Amino acid sequence: MHPVWTHPVRPHPAAIAELPVYVIRKWSVRHARLLERIYAGVERALLMAAPVINRIGHERLEKPVAAVEKTVKGVLFDCQMCGQCALSSTGMSCPMNCPKSIRNGPCGGVRADGYCEVKPAMRCVWVEGWQGAQRMKNGGDIATVQVAIDHRLKGSSSWLRVVREQTAAIEERSDA
């Protein structure tokens, strides 16, 4: 049990900032440029593997790929597996970690010190995201408006969705 926790189940608000998940999440934002490069490499590898992925079938691969994605992104970003990952556009700070699930910038309740009004011991995910975006090559993408969540995709692999969308776009361009 964490030494500042006063309850066996729920941590004291002051202890939230010390939780390992929160510490790793903050590390990911501080290293957003490195993670952007890694993600670009993973995306290239997945696109090169697209013929094999298509041959095996997206449906057959969905559960194992989603499990790997959930593990990797869960550790690094406290990923909520919305199925519509926006990390590369949000400074490597997952907007789904916002207690209000706000996907396009901070709410009106973010405090002057950058902390959340709902979880006062937690920095606003959008304040963190802005800082992460400043470190990224494509940090300007944080200004891109994110579409509303399609809750039917919750738990699905955004990695496979990207492969489907990118290969469809490539095929469309080659047919034109």
List the chain domain ranges.
Answer: 16-175
User: In one letter, which amino acid is 94?
Assistant: C
In this structure, what is the dihedral angle of CA atoms 109, 115, 118, 122, given to the nearest 10 degrees? Answer: 160
SS3 115: strand
Query: Exposed/middle/buried for 86, CB within 10 Å: 0-12, 13-18, 19+?
Result: buried
CA 103 vs. chain centroid, Å, equals 11
User: Cα dihedral sign for 116, 122, 127, 133?
Assistant: negative
Q: Determine the pLDDT at residue 19.
A: 73
Phi-psi group of 12: left, alpha or beta (phi > 0 → left; psi -120 to 50 → alpha; rest → beta): beta
User: Cα dihedral sign for 175, 169, 50, 44?
Assistant: positive
Report whether 126 contacts 20 (CB < 8 A).
no
Q: Determine the pLDDT at residue 8.
A: 46
Q: Both tokens of residue 37?
A: 């490069």
Quick one: which of 176, 152, 166 has its CA closest to 47? 166
pTM (global) more than 0.75? yes
CA distance 34 to 38: 6
Q: Determine the pLDDT at residue 129.
A: 95
Instruction: Print pLDDT tens along the chain (176 aa).
Output: 444 444 444 455 555 555 778 889 999 999 999 999 999 999 999 999 999 999 999 999 999 999 999 999 999 999 999 999 999 999 999 999 999 989 999 988 899 999 999 988 888 999 999 999 999 999 999 999 998 999 999 999 999 999 999 988 888 888 87
Q: Determine the pLDDT at residue 13.
A: 55
Count of CB atoms within 10 A of residue 10's CB? Answer: 9
